[in-house]
Amino acid sequence: MRYLPLTSADRAEMLESIGAASVDDLFVDVPAQARLPGPIEGLPAHASEMAVERHMSALAAKNVSAGSAPFFLGAGAYRHHVPASVDHLIQRGEFLTAYTPYQPEIAQGTLQVLFEFQTQVARLFGTDIANASMYDGSTACWEAILMAARVTRKGKAVLSSGLHPHYGEVVRTMAKFTKDEIVSLNTELTAEPDDAAVIAQIDDKTSCVVVQYPDVLGRIPDLSAIAEAAHAKGALLVAVVTEPVALGLIEAPGNLGADIVVGEGQSLGVGLQFGGPYLGLFGCREKFVRQMPGRLCGQTVDADGKRGFVLTLSTREQHIRREKATSNICTNSGLCALAFSIHLTLLGGEGLAKLAAVNHARAQAMIERLGRIPGVEVLNEAYFNEATLVLPRDAREVVRELAERGVLGGVSLGRLFPVADGLHKGLLVAATETTTAEDIETFATQLEELLVGVPA
Amino acid sequence: MTRYFTEDHEWIEVEGDLGTVGITDYAQGQLGDITFVELPETGASVTKGDSVSVVDSVKAASDVYTPVSGTIAEANDALADEPELVNTDAEVGGWLFRVTLSNASELESLMDADAYKAYVESL
Amino acid sequence: MNAVNASGWRPSMGEAGQAGVPATSSGDYGLMLEEPLSFELGADGKCGVDIEDADRAPMGGLSKFLRKQMPDLPGLTEPETVRHYTRLSRQNYAIDLGPFPLGSCTMKHNPRLNEKMARLPGFADVHPLQPVSTVPGALEVINELAFWLIDLTGMHGVAMSPKAGAHGELCGLLCIRAALDARGEERHIILVPESAHGTNPATAAFAGFTVRSIPATPEGRVDLEALKASLGPDVAGVMITNPNTCGLFEPDMKAISDAVHEAGGYVYCDGANFNAIVGKVRPGDLGIDAMHINLHKTFSTPHGGGGPGSGPVVLSEALAPFGPLPFTARTADGVVHLVEEENASEFDHTQSFGRMVAFHGQMGMFTRALTYILSHGADGLRQVAEDAVLNANYVLRMCEDVLPAPFAKSGPCMHEALFSEAGLAEGFSTLDIAKGLIDEGFHPMTVYFPLVVKGAMLVEPTETESKAGLDRFIASLRSLAERAKAGDESLHSAPHFAPRRRLDETQAARKPVLVWQG
């Protein structure tokens, strides 16, 4: 077995040194009836690299990869070009095979990266501080609601109808058990986001309002107005960013009054990977730092006075506070945070702005072209790289038929909101810098054919 | 003025119906460098034995229980910038909060200085 | 295997500034390279990605939302970026450099085939919301891994979406809550042994339960009688780590499960230590109702400096109906389906407690774990557990004469050897041994955990270490124990040869500096 360095002779010698007759002597605490007599049934014996690669490659080949077809999906996961150096660097063994930096003297590489990452996220979000990442955007969103409840000592969270429905599901699932009150609003096909409806729900019991920016239909809420209304009632504004590239073009939520900004960082440095691993971003005002969930890396000095970094404020965390911890989270998303950070370092602020401008331009080209198809309406007045079309027929069927024609043509609102009424004709389409003019033309041609003769 | 002690290593010094509470010098020595003190809100009504404050060191977070019931009258805001006062001056300048006693008879169950000294030596 | 120091320093080089070691003008020393922050290196306008200009201006509707200033993020060109991160990487210790015997963390070799497979475009470049007709292979990976996890644990079902061990714990407890709700019972207490991982009580509280601690016996096991005495109509269940955090198998596990079941509760097992028994023992045979499996431990998906993890939860027949959405299911025709909110009823899964994550879980970790399982096979996995346990017992027996092993007399350990600091010279502690190991070129073991042993040192060598490698580690550990017993003051200032000396954690926590202030 290529991964096991002990030889049979080693094993025999070691057993003799420790005075055991056989390895079974080491399992004496396991009751005999619970011990398996031999290798577990069903699973084949060990296999060579070549054989395993053959099996896995065959499974991979059954999937249509995003890069192999005209591709227009978004809805919380975006296909961007990841520079080659990102993947090379995260595969350095010193990053890939290191553990959580609990021994800071020999983990300064990881720690400095986390410190740089926190600074980048804070600057991108316009918040004072940021943590060292969380599982993903949806769990970061739930953690933000819990934190807002700790800060305000109130327990009612208002979710905008523009929040990604899966994020809303995660929040509602968790809240069932914590007894937090969650107010959800119904998503409707309107050109403007539901700012007014959100504001109308804020009262003295409200701990926070949760608003996605841009929202799940690609619309852009007026965060300043919502922040003002929330603050007037002693509530916090939690802004959720599922497409961080947007912040190269539109204003950072922290600069618009958001108290906590969370997001999904997958767009930068991390591939689509069928949904994970991704990374949750989490930034907030400095005065909330002791209520923050997740790991934090802080600057300090070593015994020689040299600058160095450590994990800090760990008394908030589960391994010390146990049942009084701010969160039960133990792991962050270190390697994805590294990829995010490298990609953002390669881009810089100007590169990010340029990238955002290209994304927006491609989206405009896409929306203009698709909007010319008879029967297709464009919902949004404003969008970044993703917008909602209203088709003359069920969008879910259209997406399936497009797939048969070799086009991955967006995400139907029927898939995203399976139980909601009145959304089934909605189609969410995204473009990024990877989208070509030919892709758009192929998509438009195929969509047009599928809609021929359908009454609007 | 009389000073009382608890088995959880809080001290309380009472003047009239106002008690000043902190952790003992022994306790701060056990905790090591104090990095942060979470203080109660003024006006909060508390019951003897409630956890009303938390003292953090690098590796531990310790609850501080109020030795008496009453209303929080004041918190030591100096600790926000200088939590190390709990280390350097635990039983004077490193006090945590003041509480207006609602039931002075609760003091009877606490230890005096000699009893606390003997208690610490027994640990 | 060569236990080199991560910094590139050989101990024979001594310390800069000491007699005979001249200071350099750069501040670097040979391969020991300092590295500033990217913010100190970067310049506005520098960019490591060539991006074309946008061919049109922002749409009118966006004008009121436009950013007033560029984000203040200096960029770097590609060579500068590669150098920055490569230099930083060299300040890390890693499994690829040498033994990483961090107890309860299972730091084993990360096979590179796993990385290669996870990067196949058919897995890496697939969107989670693509039409299911375009992702049958991805669903098969999830389903195949789920199948083997069930096979290896003897359980009934598995929830694949939890993103890490603690998230898996939460999943298991939410299943228990949902099952109790379905029974119409208000049980609110979870029993947790005092030796448990800190995540256990944190998770129980997070899920709305009240935590009650149960004591350990002097032999480091759960006190069965105390546990039985704590059971009652208000007890929802128990969270047990088995093998436990003292590195011991709980021989009464079945009796514990039976007692808990009889009292109407459920048994959650923390599977962090599954590596000791994988392929040898099936938790399902011990009466366990739910157990998370850290794919980043037992099945070797990389730790990556702290995540991403992945924590699928295997479930008993009693709890499986309450597992979260989405999941995969294979029908008789061989087709693997994605079961989500809308089609859950078609798959008879209407009692789910809900959704835990936005998409389907850690697919990138699933491909790696499946690759690992297929590579090892039934015989290889069994050998993994046997070698991991043999290596730990070898360390235990080769060091117990110089370092007290509090539970060694009660028999062999599983995959972790536990020592205590008792017997070191006055003023010397576990911390000194740990920092001394850094100078010796090793990553320290887990220290001060479990809490039930004062000054605990928990050594988990894993099956990855060769005998020769273990002998070198043992020689270093013995030498450090002897130095600490003899009162060698130089240990107090260790490490001497790492990129940094001991760091001031008090300053970091008192006045937190969490972002660059420049």
With contacts defined as CB-CB under 8 Å, which chain C residues touch B56? 509
Query: Hey, is the C-beta of A300 within 8 angstroms of any chain B C-beta?
Result: no
Q: Is the pLDDT of residue A280 over 90?
A: yes
- Residue C88: list chain A partners with CB under 8 A: 108-109, 112-113
Domain shared by A247 and A207, yes or no: yes
> Closest Cα of chain A to B54: distance in Å?
10
Output the 3-class SS for C124-146. Answer: HCCCCCCCHHHCHHHHHHHHHHH
pLDDT of residue C7: 41
- List, in sequence order, every residue forming a beta bridge with A378; answer none if it has no partner: A389
Q: pLDDT grade, residue A321 (50/70/90)? A: low
Q: Is residue A33 part of a domain?
A: no
* Mean pLDDT for all residues in chain B: 93
Closest CA to A429 of A157, A71, A45, A9: A71
Please indicate whether, in this complex, the C-beta atoms of C356 and A170 are within 8 angstroms of each other.
yes
Nearest-neighbour CA in chain C from A254: distance (Å):
12
Contact status, residue A446 vs residue A72, Cβ threshold 8 Å: no
Is C314 in contact with A345 (CB distance < 8 Å)?
Answer: no
Give the whole-angstrom CA distance, residue C265 versus residue C235.
Answer: 6
**What's the pLDDT at C5?**
36
Check CB contact of A324 with chain B, cutoff 8 Å: yes
**Residue finishing a domain among A306, A326, A343:** A343
Nearest-CA residue of chain C relative to B82?
C510
Integer Cα distance of C129 and A340 in angstroms:
22
Pick the range with the lowest mean pLDDT from A265-269, A310-314, C43-47: C43-47
Residue A322 sits in the same domain as residue A408: no
Q: Do B36 and C506 touch (CB under 8 A)?
A: no
Task: Judge if A120 and A253 occupy the same domain.
Answer: yes
* CA–CA separation, C10 and C30 (whole Å): 11
Query: Do C478 and C484 touch, CB atoms closer than 8 A?
Result: no
- Residue in chain A nearest B38 by alpha carbon: A290
Measure A153 CA to nearest chain B CA, in Å.
12
The mean pLDDT of A245-259, rounded to a whole number, is: 98
Domain range spanning residue A381?
66-80+349-451
State the DSSP code for A330.
-
Reported confidence tier of residue A325, pLDDT bands at 50, 70, 90: low
Inter-chain contact C380–A91, Cβ cutoff 8 Å?
no
**In Å, how far is B36's CA from the nearest CA of chain A?**
9
Distance from CA of B106 to the nearest CA of A (A): 28
Is B2-107 in CATH node 2.40.50.100?
A: yes
- Pick from A316, A343, A370: which residue ends a domain? A343
| E-only strand ranges, A285-358 | 297-301, 307-311
CA distance A310 to A319: 16
CATH number at residue A203: 3.40.640.10
Interface test with A, best of B38, B39, B58, B79 (most A CBs within 10 A): B58
CATH 3.40.640.10 fits C114-369, yes or no: yes
- Which pLDDT score, from 0 to 100, does residue C380 have? 97
Residue with tokens 């003008």: C25
Q: Tell me, what's the pLDDT at B57? A: 87
Provide the number of structural domains found in chain A: 2
For C279, phi then psi, to 5°, come to 80, -5
Best mutation target among B33, B38, B57, B88 (most C Cβ atoms within 10 Å) is B33
Tell whether A290 is within 8 A of chain B (Cβ): yes
In this structure, the answer to whether residues A183 and A147 fall within a common structural domain is yes
Q: Quick check: is A316 in a domain?
A: yes
pLDDT (0 to 100) of residue C219:
84
Q: Does A1 map to a domain?
A: no
- Alpha helix (H) residue ranges in A126-185: 137-152, 165-178
The answer to whether residue A154 sits within a structural domain is yes
What's the Rg (C-alpha) of chain C?
26
Domain membership flag for residue A415? yes
CB A393 within 8 A of CB A204: no
Task: Tell me, yes or no, whether A34 lies in a domain.
Answer: no
Nearest residue to C500 via CA among C435, C434, C444, C447: C435
* A370 contacts A444 by C-beta, under 8 angstroms: yes
Q: Residue A390's pLDDT is what?
A: 98
- Residues of B with Cβ-Cβ distance to C509 under 8 angstroms: 35-36, 56, 58
Mean pLDDT of A47-65: 98
Phi and psi at A43, nearest 5°, equal -75, 130
Query: How many CA atoms lie within 13 Å of C97's alpha carbon, on the beta-carbon side?
Result: 27
| Token pair recorded at residue A336 | 């994805």
Q: Which CATH topology does C386-507 take?
A: Aspartate Aminotransferase, domain 1 (3.90.1150)
pTM for this model (two decimals) = 0.95
Q: Which residues of C touch A333 (CB under 8 A)?
A: 307-308
Residues of C in contact with A310 (CB under 8 A): 503, 505, 508
Give CA–CA dist B48/A182, Å, rounded: 34
pLDDT score, position C10 = 41
Closest CA to C277 of A4, A26, A42, A45: A26
In single-letter form, the type of residue at position A402 comes to L
Q: Which residue of A has its CA nearest to C46?
A: A348
Question: Is residue A8 in some structural domain?
Answer: no
Same domain (yes/no): A373, A280: no
B84 at the C interface (CB within 8 A)?
A: yes
Indicate the length of chain A as a whole number. 456
* Domain chopping of chain C, boundaries: 114-369, 386-507
Largest CA distance in chain A: 84
Q: Lay out the sheet containing A426-430: strands in order across.
A: A377-378, A386-390, A426-430, A411-412
Q: Select the residue of A33, A247, A347 nearest C49 (Cβ to Cβ).
A: A347
Q: Is A320 close to B60, i.e. CB distance below 8 A?
A: yes
Shortest CA distance from B51: residue in chain A: A324
**Can you give the pLDDT at residue C216?**
86
Domain boundary among the residues A343, A367, A396 is at: A343
pLDDT tens per residue across span C343-363: 999 999 999 999 999 999 999
Residues A332, A356, single domain; the answer is no
Q: With beta carbons under 8 A apart, name residues in chain C contacting A335.
A: 302, 304-305, 307-308
| Per-residue confidence band for A324, with pLDDT thresholds at 50, 70 and 90 | low
Mean pLDDT value of segment A163-182 = 93
- Shared domain for A412 and A323, answered yes or no, is no
Q: Is B56 on the interface with C (CB under 8 A)?
A: yes
Closest CA–CA distance from residue B33 to any residue of chain C (Å): 7
Question: Cis omega before residue A5 (within 30°)?
Answer: no
A298/chain B closest Cα distance in angstroms: 13
Tell how strand C417-419 and strand A156-159 pair up: unpaired
CB-CB under 8 Å, B57 with A290: no
**Chain B adjacent subunits, 3+ CB pairs under 8 A:** A, C
For the stretch A59-78, pLDDT in tens is 999 999 999 999 999 999 99
Starting at the edge strand found earlier in the chain, the sheet holding B61-65 runs B34-38, B51-57, B61-65
Q: Quick check: A350 pLDDT over 60?
A: yes
| Chains with at least 3 CB pairs less than 8 angstroms from chain C | A, B
Residue C20, pLDDT score: 65
- Mean pLDDT, each 10-residue run in order, chain C (518 residues): 38 51 85 94 88 96 94 94 97 97 95 98 98 97 97 96 92 95 95 85 88 88 94 96 91 95 96 94 96 95 92 96 94 92 90 93 97 97 97 97 92 95 95 97 94 92 97 98 97 95 94 92
Residue C274 DSSP one-character state: G
Q: Which residue out of C451, C510, C511, C513 would a mutagenesis test of the B interface target, given it has the greatest number of B Cβ atoms within 10 Å?
A: C510
| Chain C: closest CA distance from residue A416 (Å) | 9
For chain C, count helices (H), then strands (E).
13, 12
Here the CATH number for the domain that contains residue A429 is 3.90.1150.10
Residue A55 forms part of a structural domain: no
Same domain, A75 and A105: no
pLDDT at C198: 78
